[in-house]
Amino acid sequence: MVQHRSVPRPAVLTPSAATSQFRPVLLDASRPEGLRELEALAASSSVGAVQDTIEEQLDELIRCQDPAAAQTTGSLAAMRERICGETPLWRWGTWVFYPWSGRLVHVLPRNDFQQLRTDRNRNKIDRAQQADLRERRIGVVGLSVGNSAAVTLAMEGVGGSFRLADFDTLGLSNLNRLRAGIGDLGVSKAVLAARQMFEIDPYLDIEVFTDGLTEESIGPFFDGTGGTLDLLVEECDTVWAKVAAREYARSRGIPVLMDANDRGLLDVERFDREPDRPLFHGRGGGSTSADVAKMNQGELLSFLLAVVDEPRLSPAMREAVGEIGRSLSSWPQLASGVMLGGALVADTARRILLGEEIPSGRTYIDLDELIPAMDPQTAFVRAMAAVR
C-alpha cells in the first residue's frame, strides 16, 4: 500500500470562497466626486487591466447617427470636440470597474451606449421598440438552461431590468452547455449570469436570488421594489418552483416561456391574455404547488413526464428516463440544444413584449426533423449514383 505523507498546503494554494460580487461600479469622472473615486481606484491594487477605446466608440457613434455622411479624420475630431465640450475625453463618459475580474473599462454615457450597442438591431427592432423593451422587467428562474436565454436577452436589448434566481453553483459538468470557464467553478449560477450580462451592458438593473425560488423569496422575485415582472422565463428543475412560479405569474397576468431543451420544445403560456388558463396547458392535471410539495420522488417524476409529454420526448431522452440515478447522473443536455432554446426564448419574449399576437401553446423546433439524416440504404444508393 502506498503511504501518502500529510504535507501542509501552501497558503497561496488555499482555496478562497467563491465571491458573490456581480454588480459593476460606475464612475463619472466628469464630476469631482467621480474623479476622486476613479483616482483612488486607479491607485489601488484592485485594477488589473484598463481598457479605454472611448475615442473609437465615439467615432462609431457619430457614424451610426449619420451613416450617409462621409466622415474624415478632421470631421470626426471636430464632432468629438463638439460632443464632449470642455470635458477632456478621458474624463467624459463612464468608467466601469468589474471587481470580479479587476478590469476597468471606459464606455459611452448611458443613452449613447444603448443607442450604439443596439444600432445593428435596426431595422429588425426600431429605436422606439428598443426603448420600449428597455423599460421591461424579466425574471429568469433556473440559470443552467436559462443562462443562454438570459444572456441572449441582454445581448439583444430585450429587457432593461432582470431578476435571476438559482440556488445552485457552477460545476464542471455544467461546462458542456453553459458559456463559462473553469475559473467560474463554484460561482453561483445566478451571479455568473449577472456578471455575463453586466459585461455586455453595465447599465442594466439586475437582482439575483441565490437561494432560488422559495416560499420566502417568490414574492419579492415577482413584485420587487422596481415593480412587477413583465415576463417570466422558467427553466428550473425543482418541481415545486415550476408550479408555484406559474401560480404567481397567472395571478399577476404575466406571460411565461419555457424551453424544455429536448426537440426544441418551447412552451408559451399567455396568462396576460388568459387569466384562467390551466398551468402547463392542463398537462399538470390541476395539481397545485401545495400538492406537489407532498409528492414523493416517483410521483414528482410522473408529474414532470406528464408536463413534457413523455411520448413526444426524443428517443435519447426517453431512454434516459429509466437510467437517471443508475447509469446517468442527470438529464442529458447539449450546448447546441441550450443555445437553440436561448434563441427561441429571446425571440418569442421580444415579440410578446412588443405586442405581437403570439398564442399560448407548445411548439417543437426539432432539428432532427428539420435537417433529417438519410437512412443508410438511401445514402448508399445516392453514393453509388454519384460514382457512376
Q: What percent of the chain has pLDDT over 70?
A: 97
Q: What percent of the chain has pLDDT over 90?
A: 86
Tell me the pLDDT tens digit for each residue of 245-256: 999 999 999 999
> Stretch 100-123: mean pLDDT, rounded?
97
Indicate yes or no: pTM above 0.85. yes
Query: How do beta strands 231-234 and 256-259 pair?
Result: parallel
pLDDT at 16 over 70: no
- Which grid coordinates belong to 385? 449514383
Tell me the pLDDT tens digit for each residue of 303-317: 999 999 999 999 999
> Stretch 124-134: mean pLDDT, rounded?
97
Half-sphere exposure of 277 (CA within 13 A, CB side): 23
pLDDT at 370 over 70: yes
pLDDT at 154 over 70: yes
CA neighbor of 306 nearest in space, from 332, 289, 287:
287
Which segments of the chain belong to CATH 3.40.50.720? 126-370
Reported confidence tier of residue 133, pLDDT bands at 50, 70, 90? very high
- DSSP summary character for residue 328: B
Query: Higher confidence at residue 357 or residue 379?
Result: 357
As assigned by CATH, the class of the 126-370 domain is: alpha beta
Tell me the pLDDT tens digit for each residue of 174-232: 999 999 999 999 999 999 999 999 999 999 999 999 999 999 999 999 999 899 999 99
- Cβ(275)–Cβ(223) below 8 Å: no
- Which grid coordinates belong to 252? 399577476
Residue 384's pLDDT is what?
75
> Stretch 294-304: mean pLDDT, rounded?
94
Residue 375's pLDDT is what?
83
Reported confidence tier of residue 97, pLDDT bands at 50, 70, 90? very high
Residue 109's pLDDT is what?
98
Cα 89 to the chain's mean position, in Å? 33
Query: Higher confidence at residue 328 or residue 239?
Result: 239
Residue 17's pLDDT is what?
57
Tell me the pLDDT tens digit for each residue of 248-291: 999 999 999 999 989 999 999 999 999 999 999 999 999 999 99
E strand segments, 83-179: 94-98, 103-107, 137-141, 161-165
Tell me the pLDDT tens digit for each residue of 42-62: 999 999 999 999 999 999 999
Number of C-beta neighbours around residue 180 at 10 A? 18
Helix axes 189-200, 145-156, angle to 10 degrees: 20
- DSSP summary character for residue 374: P
Number of C-beta neighbours around residue 86 at 10 A? 7
Residue 328's pLDDT is what?
86
Reported confidence tier of residue 36, pLDDT bands at 50, 70, 90? very high
Peptide bond into 123 cis (omega under 30): yes
Number of C-beta neighbours around residue 80 at 10 A? 17
CA neighbor of 245 nearest in space, from 270, 282, 199, 214:
214
Reported confidence tier of residue 371, pLDDT bands at 50, 70, 90? very high
Average pLDDT, the chain: 94
Query: Higher confidence at residue 372 or residue 376?
Result: 372
CA neighbor of 188 nearest in space, from 200, 203, 201, 206:
206
**Residue reference for cell 404575466:** 254
Return the amino acid letter for 133: L
